[in-house]
Amino acid sequence: MNGSGGRRVSANLALSLDGRYHGPGGPGDFGMFLPYVATDVARDQLTRVWEGATTAVLGRGNAEGFLGYWPSVADDESADPRDRGYAKWLVGVEKVVLSTTLTSAPWDHARVVNAPAAEVVTTLRAKGEGDILVNSSPSVIKPLLAADLIDRLCLMVVPEIAGGGPRLFEDGLPGTRWSLTHQESGKLGESALVYDRVR
């Protein structure tokens, strides 16, 4: 659990060596991550991230992308068991989708909320059990970092420099201290890192 009481808030994101979560070509510029997403290190990290989480918080763009792809994996018996495990979790878990444009959620076990991320997560944290996972949604993770509401930061760092695109850690964040609780590197040079907020 986190040091401030309530449920733990975890965030998961892949980053380039220069700290970017997509390249200079815009939100669809993910080429630098593709060689690494199916490695054992990446799949084990994803399993580590969702186990214990009972609520997923997603931005609208990620919700549309994930929920357009993963449900078919849940039923694919030839898929890697770790991928199927995540897919089944994502389909069945409570999902909170942050959006200013959607009025209803077209997915099972999902609801749309039009409110600031920090406000939504503070409310979720105060009730229920299990971790709250913000999975690969920088539009949600960044305001939570700014509000110091993230208790666990799970990063996949790939050995490529994007050279452009937005960064996760921008100037102006509050100074915080973190403890490295897991570290693993793969054959391609990718690193799975888990940091817990020291409070």
Consecutive H or E run containing 187: none
* Residue 1: pLDDT over 90: no
Over residues 82-93, the pLDDT tens digits come to: 999 999 999 999
pTM of the model: 0.93
Distance (Å, whole) CA 15 – CA 190: 10
pLDDT of residue 5: 60
Closest C-alpha among 164, 188, 160, 192 to residue 16? 160
Longest Cα–Cα distance in the chain: 46
Over residues 128-163, the pLDDT tens digits come to: 899 999 999 999 999 999 999 999 999 999 999 999
Distance (Å, whole) CA 127 – CA 39: 36
Q: What angle do CA 142, 13, 57 make, to 5 degrees?
A: 65
Read off the DSSP letter of residue 20: B
Closest C-alpha among 198, 194, 196 to residue 44? 194
